[in-house]
C-alpha cells in the first residue's frame, strides 16, 4: 500500500519563486529574488543542506533549478571573506594582494570540499589577474 504524502508533490515553479522566507536575514524575501543574486543564491544552496522542512527544501530546490546561475562581479568576489587557514578573516581581495596569496587561492579552489561560492569567487579573481597580466604584457 502506498500512501499519499505532502512530500510526494513537486512544488509549482511559480509558487516556489514567489515563496517568501519566514526566518533569517532574508525574512519576507521571495526565493526567486534570492536565487537571482550571487551571495543570496549561495545562501539558498547552504539552506537546502540544513534540516529544513521537506516542503521548504523542495521550494528552494525548485527556485535554484529554475533560475540561471549567477556569477559574482569582481567587487563581490573580492569582498568574500575566507574563514579558514593562514588567511582566516581576510577578504579574497586582501589575500590576492599578499605574496603567494593568489597561488594559495588557486590551490584551495581545487579542493573537493571547497564551497561553490569560494570556487566561483576565486575563478573571477584569477580571470581578472590573467586579463591584467595580458594587458601589461601587451604594453611592454
Predicted pLDDT at 96: 94
Do residues 81 and 126 share a domain? yes
Maximum Cα–Cα distance across the chain: 76
Give, as one character, the DSSP assignment of residue 83.
-
Do residues 41 and 79 share a domain? no
Q: Which residue range is the domain that position 78 belongs to?
A: 74-139
The number of C-alpha atoms within 13 Å of 72 and in the hemisphere containing its C-beta is 26
Phi-psi region of 117 (alpha: psi -120 to 50; beta: other; left: phi over 0): alpha
Q: Cβ–Cβ contacts within 10 Å for residue 108, how many? A: 17
Predicted pLDDT at 71: 86
Tell me: the pLDDT tens digits for 78-89? 999 999 999 999
Last residue of a domain, one of 65, 84, 108: 65
Q: Is residue 42 assigned to a domain?
A: yes
Whole-number percent of the chain with pLDDT over 70? 91
Tell me: the pLDDT tens digits for 88-139? 999 999 999 999 999 999 999 999 998 889 999 999 999 999 999 898 887 6
Q: Is residue 1 assigned to a domain?
A: no
Length of the chain (residues) = 140
Domain count, the chain: 2
Amino acid at each position: 500500500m502506498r500512501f499519499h504524502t505532502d512530500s510526494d508533490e513537486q512544488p509549482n515553479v511559480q509558487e516556489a519563486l514567489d515563496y517568501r522566507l519566514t526566518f533569517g536575514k532574508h525574512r519576507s524575501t521571495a526565493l526567486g529574488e534570492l536565487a537571482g543574486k550571487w551571495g543570496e543564491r549561495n545562501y539558498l544552496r547552504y539552506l537546502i543542506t540544513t534540516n529544513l522542512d521537506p516542503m521548504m527544501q523542495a521550494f528552494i530546490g525548485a527556485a535554484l533549478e529554475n533560475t540561471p546561475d549567477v556569477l559574482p562581479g569582481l567587487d563581490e568576489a573580492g569582498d568574500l571573506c575566507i574563514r579558514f587557514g593562514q588567511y582566516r578573516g581576510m577578504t579574497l581581495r586582501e589575500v590576492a594582494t599578499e605574496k603567494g596569496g593568489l597561488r594559495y587561492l588557486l590551490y584551495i579552489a581545487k579542493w573537493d570540499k571547497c564551497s561553490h561560492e569560494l570556487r566561483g569567487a576565486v575563478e573571477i579573481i584569477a580571470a581578472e589577474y590573467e586579463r591584467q597580466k595580458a594587458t601589461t604584457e601587451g604594453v611592454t
